[in-house]
Amino acid sequence: MKEMRETIRQRSAKKEPRHFISTRNACKLCAPLGASIVFRGIENCIPLIHGSQGCSTYIRRYVISHFKEPVDIASSNFSEQSAIFGGGDNLKTALDNITRQYHPEAIGIATTCLSETIGDDVNLYIDEYCRSKKDVNIPVLIHAPTPSYRGTHMEGYHEAVKAIVETLAESGPRIDSINLIPGFLSSEDLRYLKEILSDSGITYIMLPDYSETLDGESWSEYQKLSAGGTTIASIRTTGRALATVQFGRSLDRHETAATCLEKKFGVTARSTGIPIGIRETDLFFNIIEELTGALMPLKYEKERGRLIDSYIDGHKYVFGKRAVVYGEADFVASMTSFLDEIGIIPALCAAGECTGRFRELVQSGIRNSHEDILILEDIDFESMAETCQTIGADIIIGNSKGYALSRKLGIPLVRAGFPIHDRIGGQRVLHVGYRGTQQLFDRIVNALIEFKQNSSSVGYSYI
């Protein structure tokens, strides 16, 4: 095994693209975006970005282009004055105005590179604000430090989850419940995870839960903040749960919501990969069983069985095909593990983040001996495109940002992850569990079949 890894490393090193100092078509977004998504997954909570108006507007626009839902994100709207004298006054005015307009239960404050660079002490402002409102009911204020020069949208995401439990979680007698921190998945993924846990008869709190807020029904009447989300009351009880399960092995060595709950309240923290593919999903069900004693319901046994059946039906279409996979480190690691189990060679695995552990994360999911695998982090789409010219890829798996690459190489793009803004239903793409894997598998096989069918002069009607 060690030898194989060594070989991979050597071969990878040979083909690494020329290094550019600038980032050209970034494969990442900035931290306040991740935090905003999390805050929209809390019931009646509105995100407030503490910085220039543009940060909130750009992020709104970006998030809307994927979810196709109203996403109100307030801004403290920095002016030149605030940049010089601090953004405290603006923050307080913003809190007042948001409360007046939206009557939220909570306001999630995400900072920006601007407010962090001038050294705004948001905690102090919050204290002052709360003191000045002693006699009135004000929303719960949650503060996540999310400067965009530190990490990516994923850091923002996990910072916000951490800030939420730090602010709200309380101690008390243990309850027979688990916390699930799913990471940045689709709304459909969140719905399905809830279905799994409910079917297993487990009491759980999923944090965040934007399955409804960012993929809601058509309204019968106006909603200031879309209905749904993890309730504040339930978040308070996360400190009393049996355990926290967080998806994403890259989080292992970081201080996260799960580790905070463990340290402060003794809630066992468990990290596992995003459950994509049979192996990762089996692991997820094993962890659930281990923590709660709940066995996998028959329904999911059957889903698993059908998935294996389809793997066998479709194996010839995919075997030996070479894929480009990109996105967030944990997403790519799980996706790679899935591709590996169906016989697709993950020829290029790319992440925009800079975790220092990406290679290890990806390789831990690879069981087959593949040659010529490139595993690159802190990479952008231009570097990927340059690399792809020589790796002979057959298929691309990732978000809409890979469309230009797919067009250039003339190979199919199977859209997964975030953002998907050139197709409808990005929020309803299911990735996780046996059912999600089934859908991914079908889409990947069909994309390869369609490509073959379209490229053939025969016009096969049976393939």
How many chain residues touch another protein (CB under 8 A)? Answer: 74
Q: Does 199 bind another protein (CB under 8 A)?
A: no
Closer by beta carbon to another protein, 29 or else 448: 29
Distance CA(218)–CA(216), nearest Å, equals 7
Closer by beta carbon to another protein, 156 or else 436: 156
Residue 299 has which token pair? 């329904």
Closer by beta carbon to another protein, 92 or else 357: 92
Residue 127 has which token pair? 């204290």
Distance CA(350)–CA(362), nearest Å, equals 10
Closer by beta carbon to another protein, 48 or else 197: 48
Q: How far is the CB of 339 from another protein (least distance, A)?
A: 26
Distance CA(437)–CA(306), nearest Å, equals 11
Closer by beta carbon to another protein, 104 or else 277: 104
Among 36, 44, 52, 238, binds another protein (CB under 8 A): 52
Taking CB under 8 A as the binding criterion, the range among 37-45, 91-99, 161-169, 188-196 that sits at the site for another protein is 91-99
Q: How far is the CB of 373 from another protein (least distance, A)?
A: 26
Q: Which of residues 204-263 bind another protein (CB under 8 A)?
A: 216, 218-224
- Give the start-end residues of each E strand in 399-454: 413-415
Among 101, 123, 389, 456, binds another protein (CB under 8 A): 101
Taking CB under 8 A as the binding criterion, the range among 97-105, 194-202, 242-250, 273-281 that sits at the site for another protein is 97-105
How far from chain centre, in Å, is Cα 99?
29
- Pairing between β-strand 106-111 and β-strand 74-75 as defined by DSSP bridges: unpaired
Task: Supply the DSSP symbol for 251.
Answer: G
Taking CB under 8 A as the binding criterion, the range among 108-116, 231-239, 332-340, 434-442 that sits at the site for another protein is 108-116
Closer by beta carbon to another protein, 110 or else 193: 110
Q: Does 94 bind another protein (CB under 8 A)?
A: yes
Instruction: Answer yes or no: are the C-beta atoms of 348 and 393 closer than 8 Å.
Output: yes
Q: Which of residues 57-76 bind another protein (CB under 8 A)?
A: 57-62, 64-65, 68-76
Residue 82 has which token pair? 């605030």
Q: What φ, ψ does residue 458 adopt, rounded to 5°? A: -75, -40
Distance CA(100)–CA(421), nearest Å, equals 33
Closer by beta carbon to another protein, 176 or else 386: 386
Q: Which of 354, 347, 327 is nearest to 411 (CA)?
A: 347
Distance CA(226)–CA(216), nearest Å, equals 7
Closer by beta carbon to another protein, 25 or else 446: 25
Closer by beta carbon to another protein, 96 or else 301: 96
Distances (CA, A) of 237 to 42, 98, 177: 14, 27, 9
Q: Which of residues 358-387 bind another protein (CB under 8 A)?
A: 382
Among 4, 54, 138, 357, binds another protein (CB under 8 A): 54
**Calculated CA dihedral for residues 377, 427, 181, 380, nearest 10 degrees:** 10
Q: How far is the CB of 379 from another protein (least distance, A)?
A: 12
Q: Which of residues 123-162 bind another protein (CB under 8 A)?
A: 147-150, 152
Q: How far is the CB of 81 from another protein (least distance, A)?
A: 9
Q: What φ, ψ does residue 159 adopt, rounded to 5°? A: -60, -45
Q: Which of residues 391-420 bind another protein (CB under 8 A)?
A: 401, 404
Q: How far is the CB of 155 from another protein (least distance, A)?
A: 11
Tell me the CB-side half-sphere exposure of residue 449, using CA atoms within 13 A: 14
Residue 283 has which token pair? 């692991």
**Calculated CA dihedral for residues 48, 330, 268, 282, nearest 10 degrees:** 130
Q: What are 269's strand-pairing partners?
A: 244
Q: How far is the CB of 431 from another protein (least distance, A)?
A: 22
Q: Does 91 bind another protein (CB under 8 A)?
A: yes
Instruction: Answer yes or no: are the C-beta atoms of 390 and 35 closer than 8 Å.
Output: no
Binding mask 17-46 for another protein (x = CB under 8 A): ---xxxxxxx-xxx-xx-------------
